[in-house]
Amino acid sequence: MAENRISRDMDTREASSRPKSWAPPSLLPEVNQEPGYSYRWIRISTLGTPDVNNISSKLREGWEPVKASEHPEAFTMADPNSRFKDSIESGGLILCKTPSEFVAQRTAHYQKLTEDNVASVDNNYMRENDPRMPMFKDKKTQVTFGKGLVK
């Protein structure tokens, strides 16, 4: 009876593991990011029509195209008619980088604009408030746990 059993040496984890499944590749290549820089894919064309305004504004913001020689792991087939030679392009997008401080400053700038806009809308709305008929009624509730007051 013991002769029909398979020895433990023959039973391996690889033999009982699940088969690997295929997954579609990501649309944009991944890059090894340098510390201190932020990366972003920026549109340079839509349906073959160049988007000069978009790329120009991004270059003025401080984004610069990443050279394919800097990140060979992300290099794809180069477009022979490209305006950006030796750059990483994919489907009308170009990989760009900028110092992380610029991204933080840009985020802070737009956060302040958003807060100012919200304050302006609130002030304009609350200007119509009348104490005889308030737009917002302050409700104060109190939640207690336990048996209440002990005497």
Q: What percent of the chain has pLDDT over 90?
A: 19
Which helix or strand (DSSP H or E) is residue 114 part of?
Answer: helix 100-126
Is the full-model pTM beyond 0.85? no
Lowest mean pLDDT among 94-98, 109-113, 147-151: 147-151
Least confident of 5-19, 72-86, 123-137: 5-19
The C-alpha atoms of residue 11 and residue 22 are separated, in whole angstroms, by 26
Q: Is 1 domain-assigned?
A: no
Q: Is there a domain that residue 42 lies in?
A: yes
Helix (H) or strand (E) run with residue 102 in it: helix 100-126
Domains contained in the chain, number: 1
Mean pLDDT of all residues in the chain? 79
What pLDDT, on the 0 to 100 scale, is given for residue 6?
64
Tell whether 105 is covered by a domain.
no
Specify if 95 maps to a domain.
yes
Does residue 47 lie within any of the structural domains? Answer: yes
Question: Which range of residues forms the domain containing residue 85?
Answer: 36-99
